[in-house]
C-alpha cells in the first residue's frame, strides 16, 4: 500500500502484513497485522514516528523515497515490530536524532546497539517543535513495556498511541470503516497485549481525558477517526466488573473429562450462566484470552498425565496466570486413572489470579452419579456467587 495522507503534512508510511499468522511465536494473527509508521512534516523539521518490522523495511524504504531529510525519529516503544528498522533509518538519515524516553534509550541501546550520540531523551510532558507543529511526549509505562510513550500532535489533535488502542488487522482501510468489525480484533489485542497492565492503563485512560483528540493513530491496525469508540471499549474492558460468564478451557484424552465438561456446561446453562468452552486440542489461544477479558470465573478441565495436568492445559493455565484477567473465581474439574496431583499442580501455576478457589472436582475413571452431583454443586455455587456479586 502507498503512503496515505491523514491530514496535510501527516502521512501513514507503514506496512500492512497480510500473511503473518503468529506474533512473538505465540499469538495467532488470523487477520494479519500492520506496523504503522507516521511521517509528520512541520515548517522547519520533519519527524518519523516509529518504524516497521524489519521484515518490511522495503515498504518503508519505498514510502520514504521522496523524503530527503528526517530530523527526528521518535521511538514510542522498543519492541522490534516498531523499532526493528531504526538502525536502517538512522543509517539512511545520518543527521536524524532518535527521540525516546530514558528507559527507551536503555532498551534500544541493548536491543539494536544504537550508539549513545544518536539519542535525545524526553521527559514526560516534554514538547518538541517542528516549526508550525508540536509533538508532546506522554510517558505511558506498561503499554506495552515500561519504556513506552505516546506522542500527541497538538495542532492536528492526533494521538500516536503506539500499542495502546491497536488491533492486529491487515486492511486497505486507513481509518476504521466498520466499528463492529474492528471490535473483536481490538478486544483480542487488548486481551493478549494489554490485559496484564490494566491498572496502569486505567491511569493512562484517565490522563488522556485531558487531551483533545480527533484521531487515534495506533501502531497496529486502522486509525480511529471516532476516538470515543475505542476509548469507551477500553473503559469497559479495563474498568467494568466481570460478567456472568464461565470460561472453560479443557482437554479430554479418553472421554471422562469430556463427559464431565458436557454435564457441567449443561447445568451452568440451566443456572443462567454463559459458558465459553475451549477444547484446547484445537483452540485459538487468542480467543481464550479474549473470553477471559470479562469472565467472572475460570474452570480448568484436565485429564491426568503422569500425575499432573495435561500439558495443553498447563499451557493455558500459564497463559491465564501471565495475562492476569480480572477473574473472581477459579476451579478445576478432571479425571485420572491411577493417581493425580493435577489440581494441586494447577493451583500452584496460577498465583497471579487473585480469585477465590472453589473446591475442584477430580474423578477416578469414568464419572458416576456422585461425581455428577459434585459437578451440579460446583455449577450451583458458581451461579449463586455470580448472582450475589450482581454479575450480569
Interface positions with ligand FEO (CB under 6 A): 77, 79, 81-82, 144, 163, 219-220
User: Which residue lies nearer to ligand FEO by CB, 31 or 81?
Assistant: 81
Residue 126 falls in which region: left (phi positive, over 0), alpha (psi -120 to 50) or beta: beta
Output the smallest distance, CB 26 to ligand FEO, in A: 13
Output the smallest distance, CB 366 to ligand FEO, in A: 46
How many Cα atoms within 13 Å fall on the side-chain side of residue 340? 22
Task: Report the candidate in 51, 316, 290, 52 with the shortest Cα–Cα distance to residue 189.
Answer: 290
Spatial separation of the C-alpha atoms in residues 186 and 164, rounded to whole Å: 10
Output the smallest distance, CB 159 to ligand FEO, in A: 16
Contact 14, 36 (CB under 8 A): yes
Burial class (CB in 10 A: 0-12, 13-18, 19+), 380: middle
Cell numbers for 165, please give them: 488502542
User: Which residue lies nearer to ligand FEO by CB, 220 or 328?
Assistant: 220
Task: Report the candidate in 293, 328, 76 with the shortest Cα–Cα distance to residue 195.
Answer: 293
Neighbours of 124 (CB within 10 A): 12
Q: Is 373 helix (H, G, I), strand (E, B) or coil?
A: helix
Task: Report the candidate in 179, 178, 184 with the shortest Cα–Cα distance to residue 30.
Answer: 184
User: Which residue lies nearer to ligand FEO by CB, 12 or 264?
Assistant: 12
User: Which residue lies nearer to ligand FEO by CB, 79 or 376?
Assistant: 79
The residue whose Cβ lies closest to ligand FEO is 79
Output the smallest distance, CB 376 to ligand FEO, in A: 44
User: Which residue lies nearer to ligand FEO by CB, 167 or 277?
Assistant: 167
Output the smallest distance, CB 28 to ligand FEO, in A: 15
Contacts of 216 (CB under 8 A, 6+ apart): 158, 159, 161, 165, 223, 224, 227, 230, 231
Name the β-bridge partners of 100.
121
Output the smallest distance, CB 229 to ligand FEO, in A: 20
Output the smallest distance, CB 79 to ligand FEO, in A: 4
Cell numbers for 176, please give them: 476504521
What backbone phi and psi angles, to 5 degrees, belong to 31? Answer: -115, 25
User: Which residue lies nearer to ligand FEO by CB, 51 or 256?
Assistant: 51
Output the smallest distance, CB 385 to ligand FEO, in A: 36
Amino acid at each position: 500500500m502507498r503512503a496515505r495522507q491523514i491530514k496535510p503534512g501527516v502521512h501513514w508510511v507503514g506496512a500492512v502484513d497480510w500473511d503473518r499468522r503468529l506474533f512473538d511465536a505465540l499469538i495467532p494473527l488470523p487477520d494479519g497485522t500492520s506496523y504503522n509508521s507516521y511521517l509528520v512534516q512541520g515548517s522547519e523539521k520533519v519527524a518519523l514516528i516509529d518504524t516497521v518490522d524489519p521484515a518490511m523495511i522495503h515498504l518503508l524504504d519505498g514510502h520514504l523515497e521522496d523524503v530527503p531529510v528526517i530530523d527526528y525519529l521518535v521511538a514510542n516503544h522498543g519492541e522490534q515490530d516498531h523499532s526493528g528498522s531504526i538502525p536502517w533509518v538512522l543509517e539512511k538519515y545520518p543527521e536524524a536524532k532518535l527521540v525516546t524516553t530514558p528507559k527507551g534509550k536503555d532498551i534500544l541501546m541493548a536491543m539494536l546497539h544504537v550508539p549513545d550520540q544518536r539519542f535525545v531523551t524526553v521527559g514526560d510532558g516534554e514538547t518538541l517543535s517542528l516549526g508550525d507543529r508540536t509533538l508532546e511526549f506522554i510517558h505511558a509505562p506498561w503499554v506495552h513495556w515500561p519504556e513506552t510513550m505516546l506522542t500527541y500532535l497538538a495542532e492536528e489533535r492526533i494521538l500516536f498511541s503506539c500499542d495502546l488502542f491497536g488491533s492486529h488487522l491487515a486492511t486497505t482501510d486507513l481509518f476504521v470503516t466498520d466499528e463492529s468489525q474492528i471490535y473483536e480484533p481490538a478486544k483480542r489485542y487488548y486481551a493478549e497485549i494489554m490485559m496484564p497492565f490494566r491498572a496502569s492503563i486505567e491511569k493512562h485512560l484517565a490522563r488522556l481525558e485531558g487531551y483533545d483528540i480527533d484521531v487515534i493513530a495506533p501502531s497496529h491496525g486502522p486509525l480511529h477517526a471516532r476516538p470515543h469508540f475505542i476509548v469507551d471499549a477500553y473503559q469497559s474492558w479495563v474498568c467494568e466488573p466481570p460478567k456472568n460468564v464461565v470460561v472453560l478451557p479443557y482437554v479430554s484424552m479418553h472421554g471422562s473429562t469430556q463427559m464431565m465438561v458436557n454435564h457441567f456446561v449443561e447445568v451452568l446453562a440451566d443456572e443462567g450462566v454463559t459458558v465459553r468452552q475451549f477444547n484446547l486440542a484445537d483452540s485459538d489461544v487468542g480467543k481464550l484470552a479474549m473470553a477471559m477479558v470479562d469472565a467472572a470465573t475460570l474452570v480448568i478441565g484436565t485429564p491426568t498425565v503422569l500425575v499432573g495436568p495435561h500439558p495443553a492445559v498447563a499451557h493455558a493455565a500459564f497463559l491465564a496466570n501471565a495475562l492476569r484477567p480480572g477473574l473472581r473465581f477459579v476451579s478445576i474439574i478432571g479425571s485420572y486413572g491411577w493417581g493425580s496431583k493435577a489440581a494441586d499442580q494447577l493451583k500452584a501455576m496460577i498465583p497471579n489470579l487473585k480469585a477465590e478457589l472453589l473446591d475442584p472436582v477430580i474423578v477416578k475413571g469414568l464419572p458416576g452419579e456422585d461425581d455428577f452431583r459434585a459437578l451440579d454443586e460446583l455449577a450451583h455455587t458458581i451461579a449463586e456467587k455470580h448472582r450475589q456479586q450482581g454479575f450480569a
